[in-house]
Every structure is written in structure tokens, then in C-alpha cells.
Structure 1
Amino acid sequence: MEEYVILVDANDMETGIMEKMQAHREAKLHRAFSVFIFDPEGRLMLQQRALSKYHSPGLWTNTCCSHPRPGETTADAAHRRMREEMGFDCEMEEVFSFIYKAEFDNNLTEHEVDHVFIGTSDLLPVINPEEVESYRYATLEDIRKEMNLNPELFTVWFRIAFDRVEEFYRQKPSARSQGNVL
């Protein structure tokens, strides 16, 4: 089944749809999301991308990331992909968005308006091996140290979003309230 992404302008206004791989070959700006789920102790659940992914295979990244389908809200897509990739869902809130462009060795480019969601859950994932190689929990301090030593082990969008996620998480008590959704 072909997958489509929502093309957008720099203000995240929809301009059309395009087959996902074509959008990545042509570096078209499209809508995406990144989910950051913390456990009640404040550790972030990191996902290691499956080795079979079309870009950034085996790299560590946020809990879940993907694209909404045409006609699907970004929030609905974030919840859907959490269930599909990580085997659980939880309450989350959108906290900011950013635009980035990253070229990969395989002639694909991510050019996204990335909507960032943050949530807290004590549920353990049941990972989908087609999407996720592994997962682990780490403190924000340990992640920062690791990224400073080996930035190439993390996805581009994770490295871009990390500072703002950390700032938001530390400043907003509601981001730390538990909200499991099965």
C-alpha cells in the first residue's frame, strides 16, 4: 500500500499530498510529528530505529515519529503510531513545532514541519520489530552527555528538538503528570 504525506508551506498550511518516498526524493516540505514519552521518574523512552528503515536505520531517537495521513490530525496520527510502533498509547500534548531539512546518503531528504508531543506513562512498550530495533530509558542528563560524545548515534530531528523538549519538560509540571491510555 502506498503511503502519502501532507505537503505544507512554511506556516504548516496544507498545499497538497504526495506519495511518501517521492516527497523524500524531491525534498518536499511535509507534516510530521515526534513523540517524547517520559516515565514517572523523568527518564525519556528512546527508540532505536529498525535496521530496515529507509533512512537513519539503527539510530537512537525519540519514542515515536512519523507522518499523519491525509485527512488525519497530527494528534490522531501520533496516538496511532504509538500503538503501531510501541504497542501502547498515553496522553500527550503538543508543545511546539519546528522546520528542518536533512539530506541522507541514500538520496532521500527529510524536509519537515515537525510537531512535538510530550507525555508521561508507566506502561512498558511491546515494540513492533518492523519499526523498532530496541528501546531504553535514559535521563536527560545522560542523553545530553551521550549526544555530546557521539552525536552520530542519534537522528537529526532528535538532536534538533532535544534542547526545547528538555526546557519544556523541566519548566512545565503538567508534562510530568501520568496519563496512561491503553
Structure 2
Amino acid sequence: MTIEEHVVLVDRDGHALGTAPKTSVHGRETPLHLAFSSYVFDHEGRVLLTKRADHKITWPGVWTNSCCGHPLPGEALDRAVLRRLSYELGLAVDRADLMLPAFSYRAVMANGIVEHELCPVYRVTADTPAVPNPDEVGETRWMPWKEFAEGVQNGLLAISPWCREQVPLLAELGSDPLTWQPAPATDLPPAARL
């Protein structure tokens, strides 16, 4: 028996409103819900990019940051990042650093499906190769951060809408992603402070 995954619904101030089945929250009237984005870097400062699997409901076949997902109700966001990195990319990492605690976005696909997420952003470092799970990821590639960030900001790279908004904010943290200073967990939205 498979247990249906639930997401945490939140208000504009980041307070939890309850939960809903994940399958029910991505449509034309998507409610604001808690999620995360993560950027995996190697020790050369290259970022791991992923192409979303072609059968994904939102932005199928689109290149994006390393890994996105939703915490389970009651799950700490940094733990959710590590869980999803293991599931989607076969990466066993021991830490996720909070970079953008209050990032939020709303994006609408051409077919009317909406993503609407309160989506803190994390940095992760990894030294092992990614092993993509085809249920989630179509392709991966490593790219120097400077080249990637400039390509996104200059509109030269086709990328997911959330990634296009996150990259300029991350670039403001400095040119070397390995030296970015993490934000305190107390800056997270209330629903994510466990």
C-alpha cells in the first residue's frame, strides 16, 4: 500500500494552514505551499544542473537547479533536502546550508498549471557523481557557477522560472558559491521552523 505524500499549506506570512495531498496542489488554482530548492556544488565551484523528467506535471523536460521538493509535514527543510538529493540524484550528503530563507514565487505554465511556493533555497557540496533517478531527472550536467549565473542573468540559458528568479539573488551573495555565508535558521518562515 502506498501512502500519499502531503505538502504543508502556508499563508503569505509563512504560517502553516494545514496539509493537502501533493497530487491535489499543482493545478490552475495552486495554493501557496512549503517547498525548497537546492544547488549542489563540487569543490571546484561547479553547479549540478538537472533536466526535469519528461513526465513531470510542472515544467517537464526543463533544465533547472540541482533538486527541488517538498518537506513532509513535520520534517525539517534541511532534512527534506538531503532526503530528496538521495532519492533523485543518489547523493549522500550530510549537510544543507540555508541561503535564501524567504524566497517565494508563483509561475504559470502555458497550459495554465501553476506553481506557487514558499521555497527556501539551500547550498550543498558533494564530491560523488550523481546517479539520476529517471522518475525525476532526465539528464544532469555540471557547469561553472560564474558561467551559469551569467547565462541565466543575461537570458542566454533556458531555465525553470524559479531558478531564473533565484540565481540573481544567489549571485548577490558573492562570486564564489563555496564562500557564501549561510542564513540563520531563525530567518525561515514560521512553518519551516521545527
> Equivalent residue for 1:141?
146
8 A Cα contact 1:48 1:61, kept in partner: yes
1:95 aligns with 2:99: yes
1:142-161, CA deviations, whole angstroms, 9 ceiling, x for partnerless residues? 2244333445x210110010
Change (3 A) 1:132 1:76: same
Deviates more, 1:125-134 or 1:87-96: 87-96
Residues 49 and 59, structure 1, Cα contact 8 Å, conserved in 2? yes
Match of 1:59 among 56, 59, 62: 62
Q: What's the TM-score once normalised by structure 1's chain length?
A: 0.87
Aligned residue pair count: 175
Q: Is the strand fraction higher in 1 or 2? A: 1
Q: Deviations over 1:124-155 (max 9, x none)?
A: 1111011001111112232244333445x210
Counterpart mapping for 1:32-71 below 5 A: 32-71=35-74
More helix by share: 1
TM-score (normalizing by structure 2): 0.82
Offset, 1:174: 4.4
- Does 1:164 pair with 2:169? yes
C-alpha distance in 1 between matches for 2:177 and 2:142: 20
What SS does structure 2 have at the residue aligned with 1:100?
strand
Structure 1 gaps of 5+ residues are 177-182
Deviates more, 1:167-176 or 1:89-98: 167-176
Q: CA RMSD in A?
A: 2.0
Moved over 4 A (4+): 171-176
CA distance in 2, matches of 1:169, 1:81: 26
CA distance in 2, matches of 1:107, 1:22: 15
